[in-house]
Amino acid sequence: MAGSDNQLVLTLNGGSSSLKFALYAADQGTPHLRGQFDRLGRAGTTFRVRWADGRNLDLPVEAKDHVSALSILFDWLDKAATRGRLVATGHRIVHGGPRYRSHSVVDNDLIGELGRIVDYAPEHLPAEIAMLEFCRKRQPDVLQIACFDTAFHRDMPVVARLLPLPRRFAGAERYGFHGLSYSFLLQDLERSFGPEAARERLIMAHLGNGASLAAVHNGRSVDTSMSFTPAAGIPMGTRTGDIDPGLVRFLAQTEGMDAEAFDHMVNQEAGLLGVSGTSSDLRELLAAEPSDPRAADAIALFCYRIKQAIGGFTAVLGGIDRLVFTGGIGENAPLIRERVCAGLEYLGIALDQVLNVQGRAIISTSTSAVAVHVIATDEEAIMAQAVIALLQQENLAS
């Protein structure tokens, strides 16, 4: 990438076993390419790149973790014709804790704070910290930006952030997640339907292996289903969502389960996987549903809890103007959208079955009081915007 004055911005979005990346022009915010590593740490890891001009690259690689994948990516970028010079990298960081409530330039203090709060998100922060440290060593002249998923919810009302715990537990509050996704949905609604649409009473459902809902009004988060950690809220692929805290003592006494084993269970063995006993993949569960009662139970519970959250958020908002589905399930599972919306006619939600099956941008009927949308989210676009804005601030200050 050396030898050019065209400034480029890289975004890195790490999942539990994947790493998405995108390369943007810093002056325009348009992507040159996108790609990802799938199945990190397993046999059959794939490195995929998709250029804006339609070219594709698919390569089998050996990458045991996110840092190994980054090494492969940077080696490839050094040789690739990317028409520019990398000046900044944005990292999706799941949790900012009580101190970091907006996207920030990475420095030693930020790294230290993430290390201090690592138990706020033990499933995510260790890998994210490792990627930050690797990038700082590998490319010391490139600005590193932390893009916090919790930042979108920083202005939630106090009553929505409070946990009913003794006040002495500082930092124990409801933070909320999937903020980058929700930020994109707001922008997309504003682009498509004007500024007023983004200020209406919105309920957004980001449904994927990790899943949450958010209530938004006047462009701000009012409430969200996830809480102190991403394990709270509705059931997910392998996460419980909200459960009775009395289970901690019960399972400790009956199963000898300590805190570490309990944490592993609620994050890795529960949710759709735990209820079905077979899979965390909703596609597999839908295929098995006709003959497998446990798969049917898992799907029914998933839809029920989403419907329950929509009802609760409608009460908080004092009504609903738009319902938005996004995420891998929200964007691609019309049957789930149908079941979630069934019975919500009293709220003014009327689904057009044909438009829903076709996966159109609006799947409600023309007479529905509530507009129901399907929007493909783009967390990387929001990260690129944040990185470019902070890069400009740094340039002005220097």
Regarding whether 208 and 137 lie in a shared domain, the answer is no
* Within a domain: 79: yes
Domain boundary among 148, 171, 205: 148
Regarding whether 367 and 268 lie in a shared domain, the answer is yes
Which pLDDT value is given to residue 81? 64
Regarding whether 144 and 198 lie in a shared domain, the answer is no
* Within a domain: 262: yes
* Within a domain: 182: no
Which pLDDT value is given to residue 347? 98
CATH number at residue 46: 3.30.420.40
Regarding whether 315 and 257 lie in a shared domain, the answer is yes
Residue 94 contacts by C-beta under 8 Å, 6 or more apart in sequence? 121, 124, 125, 128, 148, 149, 150, 177, 230
Which pLDDT value is given to residue 5? 66
Domain boundary among 90, 122, 148: 148
Regarding whether 234 and 111 lie in a shared domain, the answer is no
Q: Where are the beta strands (DSSP E) in the chain?
A: 7-14, 19-25, 31-38, 46-51, 56-60, 85-93, 104-105, 143-148, 202-207, 211-217, 220-224, 322-326, 371-374
Which pLDDT value is given to residue 366? 97
* Within a domain: 396: no
- How far is it, in rounded angstroms, from Cα 382 to Cα 187? 9
- For residue 3, give both structure tokens: 């030898």
Which pLDDT value is given to residue 3? 42
Which pLDDT value is given to residue 2? 43
Which pLDDT value is given to residue 171? 93
Residue found by looking up tokens 């009802």 in the block? 311
* Within a domain: 30: yes
* Within a domain: 348: yes
* Within a domain: 75: yes
Indicate the length of the chain as a whole number.
Answer: 398
Compute the 3-state secondary structure of the chain and give helix, strand, coil in percent, each to the nearest 5. 40, 20, 40
- How far is it, in rounded angstroms, from Cα 114 to Cα 70? 20
- Write out the chain's pLDDT in tens, 398 residues: 444 468 999 999 998 889 999 999 998 778 999 999 998 988 889 999 999 999 999 999 999 999 999 999 999 999 886 678 999 999 999 999 999 999 999 999 999 999 999 999 998 999 999 999 999 999 999 999 999 999 999 999 999 999 999 999 999 999 999 999 999 999 999 999 999 999 999 999 999 999 999 999 999 999 999 999 999 999 999 999 999 999 999 999 999 999 999 999 999 999 999 999 999 999 999 999 999 999 999 999 999 999 999 999 999 999 999 999 999 999 999 999 999 999 999 999 999 999 999 999 999 999 999 999 999 999 999 999 999 999 988 877 76
- How far is it, in rounded angstroms, from Cα 288 to Cα 354? 24
Which pLDDT value is given to residue 94? 97
3-state secondary structure 184-204: HHHHHHHHHHCHHHHCCCEEE
Domain boundary among 148, 176, 202: 148
Regarding whether 210 and 144 lie in a shared domain, the answer is no
Q: Is 117 exposed, middle or buried (0-12, 13-18, 19+ CB in 10 A)?
A: middle
In degrees and rounded to multiples of 5, residue 131 shows phi and psi of -70, -40
Host domain of residue 364 = 194-374
Closest residue by Cα to residue 149 from 392, 382, 398, 373: 382
Regarding whether 93 and 229 lie in a shared domain, the answer is no
> Do 329 and 211 form a contact (C-beta atoms < 8 A)?
yes
Whether 149 sits among the annotated catalytic residues: the reply is yes
Regarding whether 143 and 232 lie in a shared domain, the answer is no
Count of domains observed in the chain: 2
Regarding whether 237 and 336 lie in a shared domain, the answer is yes
Q: Spot the catalytic one: 149, 188, 223, 378.
A: 149
Regarding whether 77 and 22 lie in a shared domain, the answer is yes
Regarding whether 217 and 350 lie in a shared domain, the answer is yes
Regarding whether 106 and 219 lie in a shared domain, the answer is no
In degrees and rounded to multiples of 5, residue 48 shows phi and psi of -120, 140
* Within a domain: 173: no
